[in-house]
Amino acid sequence: MKLITAPTPPLLMVSMESMPRLAILTMGEDDPELCTAERLIRRGKARRISKVDEIQRCSVVLNPYAYSYLKRGDRLWIEKCGLVAVDVSWKEGTGFLKSIRRGLHRVLPILIAANPTNYGKPFKLSTVEALAAALIITGFYIEARDILGEFKWGQQFIEINRNRLSRYTDALTDDDVDRMQREMFGIDTTERVIETIHRYILSGQGVDHITEKNKSHHW
């Protein structure tokens, strides 16, 4: 799917016969009234799984420690086997996230959070934002809007990331995504951006570092 290019490009809506199968690996430890994952499960938008071996081997798993970006080519796997989000804290759940072997693991490129807890912070997405971003990048725009519609701030996630999502949807390779992030966020490093992201998450200070370095970029 190719998105329309314009000063503020609208995202092309793609109609699908059925909603992609969404699953969330969660232990249900968060406050169900505040957790976006729990609301999606309650509303029947996603299925709860509580064991790693419930993940289909061919499903796409969103994991911030993966070594390949989510790209539009992953749509085929999502259509066939579904999309899985892991609802755990990145910092406290590092060991768990790195231990998961089932599924095709993908990291999302840098996006800006619209959720009330981390509004305006890069990469600090809620579970629904992560799922919606993955759906948009792989061409399931209507389905992404459907799950974001469960939250009053959901549409704002699309608005503040419209240009980024549009560009990421055009990426065919990990190198394409790396180049786009360097251009949009002014990242100047000799290492792959994906490795920089991993280091930032582990250190617990990377989000603020990116924000400070790129105040001139309009998010």
pLDDT in the model for residue 30: 62
Residues 65-96: pLDDT tens digits? Answer: 999 999 999 999 999 999 999 998 766 688 88
Would you say 126 and 46 are in contact if contact means Cβ atoms under 8 Å apart? no
Task: Report if residue 151 sits inside a domain.
Answer: yes
For residue 49, what is the DSSP state? Answer: E
Candidates 188, 193, 186; CA nearest to 211 is 186
- In the chain, the number of structural domains is 1
Q: What is the pLDDT of residues 42-57, one digit of tens each?
A: 999 999 999 999 999 9
pLDDT score of 207 more than 60: no
Instruction: Say if strands 83-86 and 60-62 run parallel, antiparallel, or are unpaired.
Output: parallel
Any idea which of 5-19, 27-41, 88-102 has the lowest mean pLDDT? 5-19
Look at residue 148 and tell me whether its pLDDT is greater than 70.
Answer: yes
129 domain residue, yes or no: yes
d(CA 174, CA 193): 10
Which residue type sits at 199? Answer: R
Task: Please check whether residue 188 lies inside any domain of the structure.
Answer: no
Q: Is residue 162 part of a domain?
A: yes
**Residue 65: how many CB atoms within 10 A of its CB?**
17
pLDDT exceeds 60 at position 5: no
In a domain, 169, yes or no: yes
In a domain, 4, yes or no: no
Residue 41 has pLDDT above 60, yes or no: yes
- Strand order of the sheet with strand 60-62? 47-49, 22-25, 83-86, 60-62, 104-106
- Domain holding 54, by residue range, is 22-173
Model-level pTM?
Answer: 0.85
**How does residue 1 score in pLDDT terms, banded at 50, 70 and 90?**
very low
For all residues of the chain together, what is the average pLDDT? Answer: 84
Give domain status of residue 17, yes or no: no
186 located within any domain? no
